[in-house]
Amino acid sequence: MDDKELIARRVALELTAGTLVNLGIGLPTTVARYLKSGMDVLFQAENGLIGMDPVPEPGMVDENLADAGGSFIGAVPGACAFDSCVSFGLIRGGHLDVTVLGGLQVDEEGHLANWTIPGKMVPGMGGAMDLVTGSKRVIVAMTHTAKGAPKILKRCTLPLTSIRRIDLIVTDMAVIEATEEGLVLRELAPGVTKEQVIAATEATLIAAHVVPEMVISA
């Protein structure tokens, strides 16, 4: 299992039946593969659909049915389509239970930066700022470091996505909860020690004497 699969499998355990969930493009999208089979989670595509099936049935591709990345998707029975104001009313208005997004940096206050590296990468924020601001729960799924450099910092150096505190960070090394008191180290990835996580993290981590091993979905 590679790092990204480990992260996606761990995030999948955070999703519960009967909730509305928005998965970001890239790694977060793969989380849907690892849900317990038959679990009734509704996925939102921010471009205007509740009830996204990430992979269309063979032969059922419809040019009018795509996700926010433009990839063709399916729609489950009971799905509904709507315009962009409704879609972001759901997101901003507190009707979205969980959003899972990628991250470039997260800081001690739980602030996320994930939309630009000025001068290098300027893709635009798309729906990310609304998602982080409005979702009931925000989960950041990302690698713990980038080319060996920590991504969980005392203070983000990149432009923030929102000043709202995110809820949970799931990386290839650890599960970290963002709380009012600071970042709490909740779980360690298999084979990773507490000391290794602390060394790979610039932000101060609050950690119990013994931190349990990460549970991942089968």
Residues of this chain that interact with another protein (CB under 8 A) are: 45-49, 62-70, 75, 81-85, 87-88, 91-92, 122-130, 133-134, 159-163
Cα atoms in the Cβ-side hemisphere of radius 13 Å centred on 116 = 12
Closer of 95 and 194 to another protein (Cβ): 95
Amino acid identity of 28?
Answer: P
Closer of 74 and 150 to another protein (Cβ): 74
Cα atoms in the Cβ-side hemisphere of radius 13 Å centred on 153 = 16
Question: Residues 46, 108, 187, 202: which is the catalytic one?
Answer: 46
Closer of 84 and 179 to another protein (Cβ): 84
Cβ 14 to another protein shortest distance, Å: 24
Rounded Cα distance, 91 and 95, in Å: 6
Rounded Cα distance, 51 and 56, in Å: 12
Place of tokens 């713990």: 144
Contacts of 19 (CB under 8 A, 6+ apart): 41, 42, 97, 98
Place of tokens 């923030």: 160
Burial call 198-213: b when 16+ CB within 10 Å, e when fewer: eebbbbebebeeebee
Cβ 158 to another protein shortest distance, Å: 10
Cβ 155 to another protein shortest distance, Å: 13
Q: Is 46 a catalytic residue?
A: yes
Closer of 110 and 127 to another protein (Cβ): 127
Q: Which of these, 96, 57, 53, lies nearest to 78 by C-alpha position?
A: 53
Cβ 56 to another protein shortest distance, Å: 12
Catalytic residues: 46
